[in-house]
Structure 1
């Protein structure tokens, strides 16, 4: 854990107060020296008298008359007592005054430092919102737009705004490129599939042609899934224009029923515990999120007939809903889990070109979750498999 450090505002206040106390103590010290010297000069002039004259002094104290040296000694004692009392009064009252004014100066320094650092706090708050936003690309539309004199702080804020604007344009261009490229690639893939199917359905097609055609159709289908995944990934990273009420329990029931055929072919048992989980967002995207999780759970599972997938939905504290998908399967090292959410990252045999997956399943899940203001976490199960949990904000008005 990082040790707490004093804030810049506190450090500025301490420096300001320290300099004030140093200057105040120096001033008090100089005043004390000058005061002592002035008292000494006055005492010498009063007791010794002007030079060149005979000293004649008579003092009456308590019906006692002092003359000569005795009167002079009494005067010196009185002068010393007066000097000590004046010095003590100066130091005591001066120190008290210094402390009081120093406290006022410290409070004033705290207020002034806060006013001076307020623009920096605005820069920090904007940067923190951009860094912690669920959908990072969408949050790049924010700007500081600091108003005020053209000083160093405004120059920093304007530079930050220009940097974020360039990043925003870069990410928008990347999304447009992925979407446009995916659309352009769909046409030749569709044409390739049609030509291969036409060649395979000819009566003169040899067994070699049929086997080659099946292989080409598998590769073509994988490429089509890849293109569809890229389009969906680009779409899921866009800001949601409209949100509608969606119960994740209904989505899970629909997806489980839709994937039953694939689960039966893989000899994997899929069960559900669909509790009420009212969310808000794009129903098609949320269906794709659940479908990808269940599909991954079925695909990456045991092949001995003992595999299983369990889907749970419900509410969690903090006004959020969740969908959790657990599955049996091979052991996944904990250090490999974060990489599963990166595009085109697979484990084991799924790296092959002929693999059914496109390597975008969990990437799409994360993008859809963040576009809905949620998040996704995964951790390995003891004995093999994964548990993936997606949390989303509950729909408005739900309690």
Structure 2
């Protein structure tokens, strides 16, 4: 039972209980008052008609009349008091219940406003998407307003915390890029020297590979920091063009890539969407079987107008319970962090980019091994 219904029952129950007590007290007082009155003795003369009732004794020496008529009148008064009082109590009680329902709704309106704000924040596609909202409740400084103000302060601190985290990741990534670029340049100079020994060449290639992995990690962190907020400057994009462009740049390898680039118009940032497709395609190629691997990339427009991108590949068997963890940063399937060639941010960037475009991404294991990743984005403007 809701708080509004409980408050209404409390209001109505208290009113009815008070009304019943008041009616009972009134009945007792009136009954005691009537019972305490002295019944007047009536006398009548022999010539007085028997149907005449006297309120006073007309003459002394007459016969005594019982006060049965007055007692009956008293009982009628008490009966009318109970009957009419009960009817009035029921009518006024129903009105009080209706009024209590309206009053409870009015009093609980600020709580409904707080609940709606909290629900919008909780249902936001990204964890920090709705933290900029505030309740900003106006009115007297009562307990409800103090609760709303405290909730606003909490939201403000969380918003600042998420903003600070994004700025820290972006600044740290930019600061780490400079020494990595310098290291790569020095290693390339050392490796390409004419008198470099085989040991130096082997060590240089290993360090260059480690440096390249660190650069991919930094680029992934920058991409995550960039794609957290919602895309503001969106333009018309066809996912089919992006798929054809990305797949055309893939080097020849043991994985057979097949594309079905149907029209899939959407609206968003072309650079971010290209990175989304590139991450899915590269993951499909990297996490595949050593020989005879296949990768299928398809785009199409769904019946509701949304743009769909499906990337399916062969590869190792993926347990269904491990699929959600693959979208977390630095999480890989049955791979050590240092042994994996990737940075562990590919699918995390895909999810963040899809959410930034108000889209969705989901993955399903394939029978026999591999994964099928489906990205759904809102329909774009008419071209």
Partner residue of 2:25? Answer: 30
CA contact (8 A) 1:324 1:389 kept: yes
Secondary structure of residue in 2 paired with 1:134: coil
Normalised to the residue count of structure 1, the TM-score between the two structures is: 0.85
Partner residue of 1:357? Answer: 342
2:294 is the alignment partner of 1:307: yes
For the residues of structure 1 that align with 2:17 and 2:382, how far apart are their CA atoms? 60
| Larger CA deviation: 79-88 vs 203-212 | 79-88
Partner residue of 1:103? Answer: 94
| Larger CA deviation: 106-115 vs 181-190 | 106-115
Question: 5 Å matches for 1:16-165?
Answer: 16-42=11-37, 45-46=38-39, 49=40, 56=43, 60-61=50-51, 72=66, 75-76=67-68, 78-79=69-70, 81-165=72-156
Q: Cα deviation per residue 1:9-30 (whole Å; 9 max; x = unaligned)?
A: 2222222122122212222222
CA contact (8 A) 1:309 1:328 kept: no
CA contact (8 A) 1:247 1:276 kept: yes
Residue 195 of structure 1, aligned match among 175, 182, 186: 186
2:278 is the alignment partner of 1:282: no
Pairwise CA distance, 1:345: 0.9
Normalised to the residue count of structure 2, the TM-score between the two structures is: 0.88
Q: Which runs of 5+ in 1 are unaligned?
A: 1-5
Partner residue of 1:322? Answer: 308
CA contact (8 A) 1:17 1:105 kept: yes
Partner residue of 1:336? Answer: 322
Pairwise CA distance, 1:361: 0.8
Query: Residues 24 and 384 from structure 1, CA distance in 2 versus in 1: closer, same or farther, beyond 3 angstroms?
Result: farther
Pairwise CA distance, 1:190: 1.2
2:351 is the alignment partner of 1:366: yes
Query: Residues 138 and 345 from structure 1, CA distance in 2 versus in 1: closer, same or farther, beyond 3 angstroms?
Result: same
Pairwise CA distance, 1:227: 0.6
Q: Cα deviation per residue 1:158-188 (whole Å; 9 max; x = unaligned)?
A: 1111111111111111111111111111111
RMSD after superposition:
2.5
Query: Residues 310 and 106 from structure 1, CA distance in 2 versus in 1: closer, same or farther, beyond 3 angstroms?
Result: same
CA contact (8 A) 2:299 2:307 kept: no
Question: 5 Å matches for 1:259-270?
Answer: 259=250, 261=251, 264-265=252-253, 267-270=254-257
Partner residue of 2:281? Answer: 294
For the residues of structure 1 that align with 2:170 and 2:8, how far apart are their CA atoms? 53
Secondary structure of residue in 1 paired with 2:50: strand
Residue 10 of structure 2, aligned match among 12, 15, 28: 15
Secondary structure of residue in 1 paired with 2:260: strand
Query: Residues 28 and 201 from structure 1, CA distance in 2 versus in 1: closer, same or farther, beyond 3 angstroms?
Result: same
Query: Residues 289 and 96 from structure 1, CA distance in 2 versus in 1: closer, same or farther, beyond 3 angstroms?
Result: farther
For the residues of structure 2 that align with 1:201 and 1:142, how far apart are their CA atoms? 56
Query: Residues 135 and 80 from structure 1, CA distance in 2 versus in 1: closer, same or farther, beyond 3 angstroms?
Result: same
Query: How many residues of Structure 1 are paired with residues of Structure 2 in the alignment?
Result: 371
Q: Which runs of 5+ in 2 are unaligned?
A: 53-61
CA contact (8 A) 2:295 2:311 kept: no
